[in-house]
Amino acid sequence: MHVSRNFRPFGVGAAGATAVFSVIALLSTSLSAQRALSSTAASQRPVTFAKDIAPIFQKACGDCHRPDSIAPMSLMTYDAARPWARSIKQRVQSREMPPWFIDRRIGIQHFKDDPSLSDDEIALIAKWVDSGAPQGDPKDMPPPLPAVDIKKWDIGEPDLIVWSPEYTVPATGSDEWWDLFSDTGLKEDRYIKAIQIKPDSVASYKVVHHAHQYMVDANLAENPSWTTANGDVSLNEYSIGKKADIFPDDSGRLIKAGGKIRFNIHMHPSGEETKLRVAVGMKFYPTGVVPKHAVTTDAMGGSQNLDIPSGEVVRTDGYTPFKTPVKITGFQPHMHYRGKGGCIEALYPNGQTEVLNCAGFNLGWGIMYNYADDSAPILPAGSFLHVINWHDNTASNRGNPDSKNWTGSGDRTVDEMSHSWVSWYPMTEDEYKQEVEARQAARKKATNQDQN
């Protein structure tokens, strides 16, 4: 795979370079010496849970690792976290936790809502563990986080909440997929600024593998043979670990009046009978406001006709052409047990290629990597997006349920898929040209600051 180092229309690293150059320009010899002394003093004092580690855990782990949330243990108190100290060190050093699997060596590194730890934070946790994981003075503990509120929305109170009908998942058995339909109640077309999908309880989180919502014409919703080929429009997709989708300024998604929402839910038993509902919450633009760009989310890649022999690692490729310039706002790899990771790559009309990002894959976390607005890839008309995924059907893959058998395409978790959910919107030629020029100017400014 060839990686072009010269053709970078989306300005990889420009924001980061600007920040670095600004810091360098401000440093003086005396200030550097003062900071070095301060750093040395900090490195010599003991690292304790109360003063150093608890704030990190609250910031980076508190959404899941606290009482009554989805993680198997809490990390919010010393007594709860201490038994897991060495496991925590291993997980954060391997960057398995917090879940954020972007390869830091390749492509764009500026995203919205990046929960990953800094190198310094990881080093601090490792030092704490290696020194015996001391508690420190309990008076140094930060104030406790508020109790988990399962009803709280990341997008604020939605303008519209649509619930699926209730469904009961049995305690044991095979995976299940059901289409459940609900009226939106909308009397007029509206544009969505932000959207979030949520199961209704901690128990429901444990059985919902993913839930994809579609906007459906009311006359089609009662047809049991209705499929995506009949003209549905993807509304949004949820899988565990995914938060809200907040669209870039002046972009959104249209939801039409008078239709229904189809909740296509993939569920698997958790060992106890579970009654669940899934909700989709939406924040709208003001009535009558039409954003400039309509965001689309598509499954791009090569999920059809997968051929993954026993004991092998297999690569799949899929290509999607764009007739107009486009801005890609985010991507989310989607595979199952044997999925190991993948890349998205731009193939430009001039024959050059560029890897935009690579990310590892973990079935337990469906993370949508939403680009920072000034770093989102912009591709010229005639480009292709190349989705590359790898599946590991060997015994060395700890998550593999059966390395002795061939695996192919299918909806079950024990089958496989190979695509990325990609959010994007078309641009005009003038918009594309203006944004390329703006990013080039920002890069030039950063270069001049470096030279000065």
By the 8 A CB rule, do 245 and 423 touch? yes
Question: What does the pLDDT look like over 181-201, one tens digit per residue?
Answer: 898 989 999 999 999 988 887
By the 8 A CB rule, do 431 and 293 touch? no
Question: What letter represents residue 106's amino acid?
Answer: I
Q: What count of residues does the chain have?
A: 452
Q: Do both 281 and 308 map to the same domain? A: no
Q: Classify strands 296-301 and 419-426 as parallel, antiparallel or unpaired.
A: antiparallel
Q: Do both 286 and 237 map to the same domain? A: yes
By the 8 A CB rule, do 446 and 21 touch? yes
By the 8 A CB rule, do 351 and 379 touch? no
In a domain, 440, yes or no: no
Q: Do both 274 and 175 map to the same domain? A: yes
Please list the residues that pair with 27 across neighbouring strands. Answer: none
Q: How far is 387 from 357, CA to CA, in rounded Å?
A: 10
At residue 217, the pLDDT reads 67
Q: Do both 306 and 426 map to the same domain? A: yes
Indicate the residue among 90, 105, 140 that finishes a domain: 140
Q: What is the CATH number of the domain that holds 266?
A: 2.60.120.310
**Total number of domains in the chain:** 3
Q: How far is 274 from 291, CA to CA, in rounded Å?
A: 40
In a domain, 173, yes or no: yes
How many CA atoms does the CB half-sphere of 395 hold within 13 Å? 1
Indicate the residue among 291, 306, 336 that finishes a domain: 291
Q: How far is 292 from 174, CA to CA, in rounded Å?
A: 45
Q: Is the pTM of this model over 0.85?
A: no
Q: Do both 312 and 410 map to the same domain? A: yes
Q: What DSSP letter does each residue of 272-339 carry, written as one string?
A: S-EEE-EEEEEEEPPTT---SEE-EEEEEE--TT-EE-TT-EEEEEEEEE-SS-EEEEEEEEE--TTE
Q: Classify strands 296-301 and 378-379 as parallel, antiparallel or unpaired.
A: unpaired
Q: How far is 226 from 164, CA to CA, in rounded Å?
A: 18
Question: What letter represents residue 407's amino acid?
Answer: T
By the 8 A CB rule, do 301 and 418 touch? yes
Q: Classify strands 293-294 and 251-255 as parallel, antiparallel or unpaired.
A: parallel
In a domain, 13, yes or no: no
User: Which residue bears the tokens 């991507």?
Assistant: 331
Q: Is 237 exposed, middle or buried (0-12, 13-18, 19+ CB in 10 A)?
A: buried
Structural domain that includes position 267: 160-291
Question: How many helices (H) and strands (E) are present in the chain, helices listed first?
Answer: 8, 23
Q: Classify strands 326-334 and 378-379 as parallel, antiparallel or unpaired.
A: antiparallel
Intervals of the chain under pLDDT 70: 1-44, 217-232, 241
At residue 40, the pLDDT reads 40
Q: Do both 271 and 237 map to the same domain? A: yes
Q: Do both 423 and 328 map to the same domain? A: yes
At residue 433, the pLDDT reads 95
Q: Do both 362 and 320 map to the same domain? A: yes
Q: How far is 57 from 81, CA to CA, in rounded Å?
A: 10
Q: How far is 175 from 80, CA to CA, in rounded Å?
A: 33
In a domain, 25, yes or no: no
Indicate the residue among 291, 324, 356 that finishes a domain: 291
Q: How far is 280 from 234, CA to CA, in rounded Å?
A: 13
Q: Do both 184 and 285 map to the same domain? A: yes
Q: Do both 406 and 352 map to the same domain? A: yes
Four-point Cα dihedral 57, 60, 66, 71, nearest 10: -120
In a domain, 371, yes or no: yes
Q: Do both 268 and 328 map to the same domain? A: no
In a domain, 12, yes or no: no
Q: How far is 332 from 80, CA to CA, in rounded Å?
A: 33
Which two three-digit tokens encode residue 31? 């200030």
Phi and psi at 380, nearest 5°, equal -75, 160
Residues with Cβ < 8 Å from 260, sequence gap 6 or more? Answer: 181, 182, 183, 184, 215, 216, 217, 218, 221
In a domain, 29, yes or no: no
Question: What does the pLDDT look like over 376-387, one tens digit per residue?
Answer: 999 999 999 999
Residues with Cβ < 8 Å from 1, sequence gap 6 or more? Answer: 345, 353, 355
By the 8 A CB rule, do 22 and 449 touch? yes
Q: Do both 286 and 304 map to the same domain? A: no
Q: What is the CATH number of the domain that holds 416?
A: 2.60.120.230
In a domain, 152, yes or no: no
